[in-house]
Structure 1
Amino acid sequence: MYSDQILPAIKAQVGQRRVEKIDVSGAVSSWNPAHLKTAVERSGSAPGQKNDPDGIRAVVSSTLSRQSKKVSVQETRDGTLHR
């Protein structure tokens, strides 16, 4: 799945069901929030890395139509975005 397809796929699965918490864990310091809007894998001019957990939180909450207070963003040691 390309980076810009992740959130729309989650939204399609969840729909309007109640969501208590969204946990974004991974190499947060190396992701740019724009990576979730523009497929890094398909773009030759993708935005560079940016340590912006609040920006990631904003994109996730906006795309999933959820309150930002329900989104937690945390760095993990292994560096893999896995949730």
Structure 2
Amino acid sequence: MLEARETCSGATGRNGGHVNPPLFHDYAELKEEHGIDAARMILRFRLAHLGELQRVAEEEGATAFSQTRAVESFDVHFESQR
């Protein structure tokens, strides 16, 4: 962890954390640079972190303290149709 001042000081301490890998943002670039199979593998690897973080929080009894929880969300991607 790298923090400018004290741990979780400033905006870091005021803002809630979100683990939300930007999958659709990066897919096109990953596909172009590494190919479809590698791009899919990279995205699956990124998604695997979500379950692991939740598992560790539960195992350590830290879900209430850390406010770790699984939630559903969605992203909307707009593209100009010119």
TM-score class normalised by the smaller sequence:
under 0.3
Higher strand share: 1
Q: What's the TM-score, normalizing by structure 2?
A: 0.26
Q: What's the TM-score, normalizing by structure 1?
A: 0.26
Structure with higher Rg: it is 2
